Amino acid sequence: MGGPTGDPPDTTGDSDGTCEPTAGEPVCSAIPVTPGGDLGCGGEELTISGCDQLAGYELCPNLAVHRHTASIPCDDSQLCDPRFSCSTDEECGPGEACVCDVTWGEDHPTPGPFSRYTSCVSAQCRTDADCAFGMRCGVDTHCRDVQGLYCHTPEDGCEGDADCPERCGYSPEEKRWFCMGHVFCE
């Protein structure tokens, strides 16, 4: 996992040890997002945790998540969290993308966020448009942490968790998605 390539956000600390973001207004505002993007699967649009703002991710009926829209700024209320490392893709290094703290939709069997922290992650793609024609930019999650963003391929063994007994994940070595065995999470 990487980190921001620029200077950290400007914050000021109060005498009681709290931190107030001063980098601008909170980003929980109406930023245009086309639901589902060009490759919509008829699923549920996911939102940034704590906001009603669409996050640019869609949860498909087969429990695959794909990223159709990039560069949606993450809510700056997290700027004071030491685990926070970005608010946009541009703050991440080459081959990385910024994944906001996004909440699973109501259709997912595991409630809560699919990413516990807003951070830069490995990214073969940043949106569906970066993948081969007709393929989606999938979000590989493991134990509520995003492992990375990877294009689906015609050689994949699965597209979403519902296609597998346990979970569908991406193998960087094999460069494809396939069903993975059970993994214990804390």
Q: In this predicted model, what pLDDT tens digit does every residue of 142-169 receive, in sequence order?
A: 777 788 999 999 999 999 989 999 889 9
| Buried/exposed 75-100: b ≥16 CB within 10 Å, e otherwise | bbbbbeeeebbbbbbebbeeebbbbb
Show the tokens assigned to 47.
């939102």
pLDDT more than 70, % of the chain: 61
Specify the higher pLDDT residue, 5 or 157: 157
Which residues of the chain form beta strands (DSSP E)?
Answer: 11-13, 19-21, 44-48, 54-59, 65-67, 96-99, 102-103, 119-123, 137-142, 145-151, 167-171, 176-180
Residues 31-76: pLDDT tens digits? 555 555 666 788 888 877 777 777 888 888 998 989 988 866 665 5
Place of tokens 């601008």: 24
Asked if 151 and 139 touch (Cβ cutoff 8 Å), the reply is no
Query: Does the global pTM surpass 0.85?
Result: no
